[in-house]
Amino acid sequence: MQAQIDQYTAEINAFSPANADELETFRIKFLGTKGIIKDLFEQFKTVGPEEKRTFGKVLNQFKQLAEAKYAELKEATESGPKTKDLELDLTLPGDGFEVGSRHPLSLVRNEIIDIFKRLGFVVAEGPEIEDDWHNFSALNFPEEHPARDMQDTFFIKKNAGKDDIALRTHTSSVQVRMMEHGKPPFRAIMPGRVYRNEAISARAHCFFHQVEGLYVDENVSFADLKQTLYHFVQELYGEGTKVRFRPSYFPFTEPSAEMDVSCTICKGAGCNMCKYSGWVEILGCGMVDPNVLENCGIDSKKFTGFAFGMGMERIANLKYVIRDLRLFSENDVRFLKQFQTEML
Ligand SMILES: [Zn+2]
């Protein structure tokens, strides 16, 4: 114990802080509630009665030394020339000003909206809490249709004994609302948040964001669909981006397709992102099923239309190479700040 005190005494005598922070560290180390002096006094309780007398004195002297040193240094930092200099030095920089940054999903959303606006599309929105009709039935998902199993839904209320009110599983419900309440032609995109009952991991989340598009008019054909989406990816990923369509199935479109683009990371050469195929899927699309048009009160003999839908997280991944979906919703500023320059 004596040796310890000698060592600390030497340390205190030699201590010379460069700034107030170092002095504070000193205070916490020696005089803090969990500091060395407190600890020594604890140890002191365990020594024998003989030693108590000698050590009591040593310990008290040591405590006084530490307190005196701290008081002396504190006064020096507070009234010393350094502080005065600080007050007078007008050339020192001011406090930093934190510039905010846009969320990567907002950046992607705004970019997609910009591209389609130039093609004459308007932006439409709808509620995130939907009924069965707008989320499923009107979109050609009949009762017991196996396609309903494709989407794990968060049902939140039963109506007349059946699950009816749910968090929307796709933004297609906005298409239904738009067609029900208007007259063709329709040309709109619908960005928004959607929900699926899935376990959260790097590759899946219980909520994510979609942008859907709808174009309904007389004589709208699959060629219009292809040209619109071709133009979209040239604008989004740059001239020369290749596209390909693969047949697919969705209850609300017929025929349906999935669209791939040449990998934005490796430009088709093959990489981790495209699983070495050179292609990545970015969206689903198709001609609006005549049943859907009829469900929404539109004459399917007179009007045709196309629709498409894509996940915004997917589009952002291909642009910024974000490999973990959870990053989008965790609000880690270290992640978000990386998109600061994108705003300028
Ligand atoms: Zn690739």
How many other C-beta atoms lie within 10 A of the C-beta of residue 132?
19
Rounded-to-integer distance, Cα 221 and Cα 267, Å: 30
CA 262–ligand 1 middle distance (angstroms) = 8
What per-residue confidence (pLDDT) applies to 85? 53
CA 272–ligand 1 middle distance (angstroms) = 6
CA 155–ligand 1 middle distance (angstroms) = 38
Which of 50-59, 66-75, 173-182 has the highest mean predicted lDDT (pLDDT)? Answer: 173-182
Rounded-to-integer distance, Cα 264 and Cα 236, Å: 10
How many other C-beta atoms lie within 10 A of the C-beta of residue 72?
9
Contact 233, 239 (CB under 8 A): no
CA 316–ligand 1 middle distance (angstroms) = 15
How many other C-beta atoms lie within 10 A of the C-beta of residue 327?
18
Please state the rounded mean pLDDT for residues 9-18.
86
CA 322–ligand 1 middle distance (angstroms) = 14
Q: How confident is the model at residue 322 (pLDDT cuts 50, 70, 90)?
A: confident
Sign of CA dihedral 132, 135, 140, 141: negative
Angle, vertex CA 41, rays to CA 39 and CA 46, nearest 5: 100
CA 265–ligand 1 middle distance (angstroms) = 5
What domains can be seen in the chain, in order of their start residue?
2-86 (no CATH), 104-343 (3.30.930.10)
CA 230–ligand 1 middle distance (angstroms) = 19
- The model's pLDDT over 210-246, given as tens digits with 9 standing for 90+, comes to 999 999 999 999 999 999 999 999 999 999 899 999 9
* Residue 55 parent element (H or E): helix 49-79
pLDDT at 26 over 70: yes
Q: How confident is the model at residue 281 (pLDDT cuts 50, 70, 90)?
A: very high
Q: Is 235 annotated as a binding residue?
A: no
CA 314–ligand 1 middle distance (angstroms) = 14
**pLDDT > 90 in the chain, percent:** 44
**Which residue from 144, 136, 129 is spatially nearest to 192, judged by alpha carbons?**
129
Give the three-state DSSP class for 207. strand
DSSP state of 46: T
Q: Around ion ligand 1, which residues have CB less than 5 A away?
A: 263, 265-266, 271, 273-274
310: left (phi over 0), alpha (psi -120 to 50) or beta: beta
User: 167 has which bridge partners?
Assistant: 129
Residue 96 contacts by C-beta under 8 Å, 6 or more apart in sequence?
A: none
CA 73–ligand 1 middle distance (angstroms) = 62
Letter string b/e over residues 95-128, b meaning 16 or more CB atoms within 10 A of that residue's CB: eeeeeebebbbbbbbebbbebbeeeebeebebee
Rounded-to-integer distance, Cα 284 and Cα 170, Å: 12
CA 241–ligand 1 middle distance (angstroms) = 12
CA 109–ligand 1 middle distance (angstroms) = 23
